[in-house]
Chain A
Amino acid sequence: MRLIVTKRVKPLKFGGIIIPFLSIVVGIFLATIALYGLAHVPPLLVYSAIGQSLISPQMLQTFVMLTILGVALIIPFNAAVWNIGAEGQIIWGMIMSAFIGLTVAVRYIIVSPSDLPKYTNMPGMFVLPTPTVSGAYAVEALTMNPGTAICLMLIVAGIAGAVWALIAGLMRAYLDIDEVATTLIMNYIAYYAYNYIVYGPLQGITISTSGFGLSNALHPALRFSRISTATTATWEGVALMIAIFAIAWFVLRQTTFGLRLRILGSNPQVLRAAGINVRKYIVLALTISGAIAGLVGTILFAGNLYQLIKIKTITTPPTHNIGYTAILVSWLSMLDIRGVPIAAYIVASLFQAGINLQSSLGGVSGGSAMISSGALTYVLIGFVLTTFTVLRVFAEYSIKVVREGR
C-alpha cells in the first residue's frame, strides 16, 4: 500500500469556495482549543463572539477598507509584482487628505472668547474645542463647496499613494531592485514622515494639539456620513468600495491591460516578444495599487479619525496595520478578485471577534483579561490561515492509495 499524491491537472471544482470556507470552520475550531489550553478562554465565549461579529455592523468599516485594499493588492499580485507598501500608501493618502481638509478647504478665523458665541451657531463654521496658545479661539470656515473638497481630498490622496508606489515601481522596472524590500521599507519612511508632519506643517493650532503631535480636527461638513450610529462605516466608503471593485473587475477581466497583467505574472518574456512594454506594466501595476491604497487613507481620515494623531510606537500606526492585513485578504482570495469581498468579510469578522472577545473576557476571571484584542484576533486569523494553507494542498493535489507488489 502506498499513498500517492499527484498534482491535479485541473483544480478541484468549487475549490475556491469550499477551501476558504472549510478553513474558517476548522481554523476557528482549532483556535478555540488553543485559546482554551493557553488562557482558559471558554470556547462558547469564543463562538458567541465570532457569531456576533459575523453580523455585527461594527466590522463593516474594516470590511470596506479590507475589500478596497484587497483589490488594490490583487492587481499587482496578479502580475507577480509584490506591493507590501499599502501601509505607506495609506499613510500618504491620510496626510494629503488632511492637507486638503485642514488647510486648503478651510481657513481659520481667530476670534476672541467674547466673540465666540457669534460663531458657535453660524452655519458652515466649526469652532475648535480648545483655545489657541494665545487664548483666542479658532474657527474653521469652509473655503469651498464640501463636495468639491471631498473630491479633492480623494484625488490628492490617490495621487499621493500612487506617487509613493511609483517610486518603488520605477526602481523595480528600470533598476531591477526588488519591490518587496522597497515597498516595505518605504512604509517606515511614510510613518516617520507622518510623525514629522503632525509635529510640523499640519500640527494643530490649539493648546491641546499644538506640539502634542495632533492636527486640527476635520470640519464636520467634510466628514463622511455614517451609515448608522451603530457603525463607523460611511456611505462614501461603501460607494467607493463598490465602484473600485467593479472597475477593477472590469479592467482585470475585460481589458487587454488586465489580461497582460495576469500574463506578466507567469511569463514576462512572452509579452516582450508580443511587443509589449513590460516595464510600463510593472510601473502601472504598482501605481494603480498605490492610488487605490491612497484612497483608503481618505476613508480612514475623513470617515473615522478626522484628525492626524502621532504614531507613538512604530507597531501602532493609525492604520492598525490594515495594509498588511490586506495582504492576507488577497491571498485568502487566491488572487481572484471575486474572492476578495468574501475574504475581506471573513478577516474583518475575525478582527471584530477579537475585539468583542476581549470586552466580554473583561467580565470573566482575571488572567485571561490580560490578553489583548490584537492577540486574540491574530490567534484566530493565524489558525484560519494555517488551515487554509494546508487545505489548499487538497485543491491542487489529489491523494489516492495504490497497491504495489510483485
Chain B
Amino acid sequence: MQGEVTVLVKDLVKRFPGVLALDHVRFELRKGEIHALLGENGAGKTTFVKILYGVYVPDSGEIYINGKRVIFTSPIDAIRHGISLVSQIPQLIGSLTISENIILGLEKFGMMASIRKVENYIREESEEVGIKVDPNTEVWKLSYTQKQLVELLRAVMLGAKVLMLDEAITFLPIREKRKFYKFMRKFASQGGSVILITHKIPEALEVADRISVLRRGRYVGTVETRTASIDDVRKMMFGERSAQITYERLPTSTPDEKVVLDVKDLWVMGDYGAFSVKGVKLQVRAGEVLGIAGVAGNGQLELVQAIMGLRKVSKGRIAILANGDLKDVTNKGTGKVRSLGTGYIPDEPLKFGVSMENNIEENLAMLPAIAKGIIKWRQVRGLANRLINEFKVVTPSSKTPVKLLSGGNIMKVLVARELSIAKKLLVAYNPTRALDEVTAVMVRKIIKEKVLKERLAVLLVSEDLDEIFQVSDTIAVMNSGRIVKTFPAEKAEREQVEKLMVM
C-alpha cells in the first residue's frame, strides 16, 4: 500500500531534565494505514505522540502534515489539523454525562447545540464504532473500559483524520478490542490513518500495516507487518534482551497449610447500587499465587477494593493472618489491612498508586510501612536506589518527580515499592499492565521468587491470561461476580478457562 504521506516527522528532539526523551526521531504515516509504534518502557513513544498532539513542543525537528510544516503548541492546533489522541488515562469530566463530555469538543454543533441532537448523533455513531453506550450516563459511573470507549468515540467524532491511540485499547477486554480493530480498519479504508502505540507485539502484528520501533529515544526502523515475525520485532525493541522474554510457566510453588487471606461469602456493591461481588469465597495460602482470571467488569475490581478496605463490604467476612491467627478485617479500613503486611498494586496506578507531583523518595516515604513519624531520608534514599537498580527504573535520580518518568517506569516504581513492603500478602490488579514484555517477565519472576523464598501469598487479578498462566499456582475464574471454578494451575487448560470467562 503506497499511499500519500499524511504525517512526516524529521529529526525530532525532545529533552527532559536528565533524559534525552527523543533523539532525532523520524517517522512517516501514510494515508489509510494503521501504523503501530512499539518500544519498551521509556522508549519515548508517549512523548512522541504528545508532541504530535501539541502537548509538548519539541526542542528541534520538523513536523509536516500533508506536506505542510506545522507547529503545534496546544492540542487545539492538533485537533484543527485532524489529529486526535486517546491516552491510557481517561480525560473525561466525571460529573458530566457522556453526551455533555462529547459536546464539549464538537465544534460542528456550535455553541447552541442541543443535547438531544448530540445524543442521537452519539447513538448512531456509537453503533458504527461497535460500542454500546447510553449517552445520558454520568461519566463517573462508567468503568475504565467504558470510559476508554467513550474517549475513542469522542476522538472519532472530533472528525479526526489521524487517530493516535496511546495504549488506549491495550486494556480493553478482547471483545471490545476486536470490534474496535474492525472499526479501525474501516476508518483507515475511508482515508483515515491510525498511530497505535502498544507494547503488545501480537496486537501490532494483528492490526497494523506497518510497525515502527523506538528504543531509548532513538528510531530503530520500520517494517511491514506482512513480512515481519514476532521475533524480528522483539529484536528491534529489546536488542539482545529479547531472549529474556518467555511465556513459559514459572516454577510452581507448593503452598503452606497456613491461610493468609480468607474471604467468605463476600457481597460487595458496585457503583450502580447492584451487587458486583456475589458471595465470593476464596483462600490464599502462604507461598501461593492465586490468579483470578476474568473479563474486565465481572466484579474483580470491586473484590480487590473490598479486600483492601477501599470499598464497603455488605455481607461476608475478610480475614488476614496476624500473629498466627486469622484476624477479621472486614470494613476495618485500608490502614488496618496495610498494617498487617499487605502490598497493593491498584487499578489505575497513576491515580491510586503514586503521587505524580512528588519524587520517588517521597512516594516511598508516604507509606506507613516505610516511614513513621520522623522520616529518615537517608534510609529512604537507600531503599529508593536499591529499587531503582533492581527494577532498572530509568530516572535521573531518586529525587526526580514521578510525573517526569515514563508510564512504564512509574509502574516499575509502584510495583517495586509494593513488593518491598508486602511482608505477607500482595494484592495485585493487572500488575504488569503498561510494562513492556521484558520488564513484565522480570516483575513476574520477582513476584514468584518472593512467593517461593519468602512464602508470600499473592492474590493476582489480571485480564491477561498469559500472565495468569505464567505465575499462578491456583487459577480461579471470575464471572458475573462469582468465582465459577478454581483449578490447580498445572491442570488448568486455557480453552476451558476462556470458556468459563465468557460463559
- Using CB atoms and an 8 Å cutoff, list the residues of chain A in contact with chain B: 2, 4-6, 9-10, 254-257, 259-260, 262-263, 266-267, 269-277, 402, 404-406
Contact B354 A9 (CB under 8 A): no
A270–B68 touching, CB < 8 Å: no
B374: interface (CB < 8 Å):
yes
Cβ B373 vs Cβ A4 within 8 A? no
Taking chain A's interface residues, is the majority helix, strand, or loop, or is none over half, making it mixed? Answer: mixed
| Closest B residue to A9 using CB positions | B16
Q: Quick one: which of B344, B356, B365, B372 contacts A273, CB cutoff 8 A? A: B344
Contacts of B353 in A (CB 8 A): 270, 273
- CB pair B358 A255 closer than 8 Å: no
Q: Which residues of A contact B355 (CB under 8 A)?
A: 263, 266-267, 270
| The residue from B16, B69, B352 contacting A405, defined by CB atoms under 8 A apart | B69
Nearest 4 pairs of A and B residues by beta carbon: A275-B338, A275-B335, A275-B334, A273-B352
Q: CB distance B17 to A9 under 8 Å?
A: yes
List 4 extra interface pairs beyond A254-B375, A263-B362, CB under 8 A: A256-B374, A260-B366, A266-B356, A266-B358
Bound complex: CA of A376 vs CA of B69, how far in Å?
A: 53
Q: Are A259 and B366 in contact (CB under 8 A)?
A: yes
Q: Which B91-142 residues have C-beta < 8 A from chain A? A: none
Interface readout for B370-405 with A: 1 if CB under 8 Å, 0 if not? 011111010000000000000000000000000010
User: In the complex, how many angstroms separate the beta carbon of B351 from the nearest chain A beta carbon?
Assistant: 5
Contact of B68 among A10, A267, A406 (CB under 8 A): A406
Q: Please, could you name 7 A-B residue pairs with CB atoms under 8 Å apart, sorted by A?
A: A9-B16, A259-B358, A259-B365, A266-B357, A269-B351, A272-B334, A275-B336
Give chain A residues whose Cβ lies under 8 Å from the Cβ of B338. 274-275
Which B404-446 residues have C-beta < 8 A from chain A?
404
Given A6-B56, A10-B17, A260-B366, does the pair A272, B374 have CB atoms closer than 8 Å? no
Q: Could you tell me the distance between the alpha carbons of A2 and B74 in the complex, rounded to whole angstroms?
A: 13
Q: Quick check: A275 and B358 within 8 Å, CB to CB?
A: no
Q: Could you tell me if B366 and A267 are in contact, using CB atoms closer than 8 angstroms?
A: no
**Chain B contact residues, majority secondary structure:** loop
A5 touches B73 (CB 8 A): yes
In the complex, the number of residue pairs spanning A and B with C-beta atoms less than 8 Å apart equals: 96
A258 to B119, CA, bound (A): 47
State whether A254 and B374 are in contact (beta carbons under 8 Å apart), knowing that A4-B73, A262-B358, A406-B68 are contacts in the complex.
yes
Which A residues are CB-close (under 8 A) to B157?
Answer: none
Docked Cα-Cα span, A273 to B375, in Å, equals: 20
Is B282's beta carbon under 8 Å from chain A?
Answer: no
Closest-CB distance, A27 to chain B (whole angstroms): 29
Are B73 and A255 within 8 A (Cβ)?
Answer: no
> CB-defined interface of B331-346 with A at 8 Å, one 1/0 digit per residue?
0011111110000101
With contacts A4-B57, A256-B371 taken as known, whether A404 is within 8 angstroms of B351 at the C-beta atoms is no
B contact residues, total (Cβ < 8 Å) = 41
Interface centre among B73, B344, B372 (most CB of A within 10 A): B73
The reply to whether B366 and A271 contact each other, CB–CB distance below 8 Å, is yes
Given contacts A4-B57, A266-B355, A276-B335, contact A404 B70 (CB under 8 A): yes
Distance between Cα atoms of A390 and B232 in the complex (Å): 53
Q: Does B237 contact A (CB under 8 A)?
A: no
Return the chain A residue nearest B57 by Cβ.
A6
- With contacts A2-B71, A4-B57, A256-B371 taken as known, whether A274 is within 8 angstroms of B356 at the C-beta atoms is no
Residues B375 and A263 in contact, CB atoms below 8 Å apart = no
Q: Does B492 contact A (CB under 8 A)?
A: no
**A255 partner, pick from B16, B336, B346, B374, beta carbons under 8 A:** B374
Residues of B within 8 A of A406 (CB): 68-69
Q: Which residues of chain B have C-beta atoms less than 8 A from A276's C-beta?
A: 334-335, 366, 368
A256: contacting residue among B71, B354, B372, B404, CB under 8 A: B372
- Provide the bound-state CA to CA distance between A276 and B333, in Å: 9
Residues of B with C-beta under 8 A to A263: 355, 357-358, 362, 366
Any chain A CB within 8 A of the CB of B243? no
Question: Please, how many angstroms separate the alpha-carbon atoms of A270 and B366 in the complex?
Answer: 9
Residue of B nearest to A250 (CB): B374
Separation of A259 and B358 alpha carbons in the complex (Å): 9
Closest chain A residue, CB of each to CB of B377: A254
State A2–B368 Cα separation when bound (angstroms): 50
- Residues from chain A with Cβ under 8 Å of B56 in the complex: 6
Flag if A270 contacts B372 (CB, 8 Å).
no
Residues of chain A lying within 8 A (CB to CB) of residue B228: none
Q: Is B367 an interface residue (CB 8 A)?
A: yes
**Shortest CB–CB separation between residue B44 and chain A, in angstroms?**
14
Say whether B351 contacts A402, CB under 8 Å.
Answer: no
Q: How far is the CA of A304 from the CA of B356 in the complex (A)?
A: 45
Identify A269's interface contact among B70, B352, B371, CB under 8 A: B352
Task: Say how far A191's CB is from chain B's closest CB, in angstroms.
Answer: 36
List of B residues within 8 angstroms of A270 by Cβ: 351-355, 366
Q: How far is the CA of A254 from the CA of B377 in the complex (A)?
A: 8
Bound Cα distance A271, B335 (Å): 10
B309 at the interface (CB under 8 A from A): yes
Contacts of B351 in A (CB 8 A): 267, 269-270
- Kindly identify, within residues 68 to 84 of chain B, every residue whose CB is under 8 Å from any CB belonging to chain A: 68-71, 73
Contact B357 A277 (CB under 8 A): no
Chain B nearest CB: distance from A265 CB in Å?
Answer: 8
Q: Are A277 and B368 interface neighbours, CB within 8 A?
A: no
Q: Is B308 an interface residue (CB 8 A)?
A: yes
- Expressed in whole angstroms, the Cα–Cα distance for A260 and B367 within the complex equals 9
| Cβ distance B398 to chain A, nearest Cβ, rounded Å | 15
The distance in angstroms between the C-alpha atoms of A9 and B73, with both chains bound, is: 14
Looking at the assembled complex, report how far the CB atom of B36 sits from the nearest CB atom of chain A, in whole angstroms.
27
> In the complex, how many angstroms separate the beta carbon of A274 from the nearest chain B beta carbon?
5
* B310 on the A face (CB < 8 A): yes
A386 CB to closest chain B CB (Å) equals 25
Do B374 and A404 have beta carbons less than 8 Å apart? no
| Nearest A residue (CB) for B338 | A275
Contact of B366 among A2, A254, A269, A274 (CB under 8 A): A274
B404/A273 in contact, CB under 8 A: no
Contacts of B346 in A (CB 8 A): 273
- Which single residue of chain A is at the shortest CB-CB distance from B336? A275
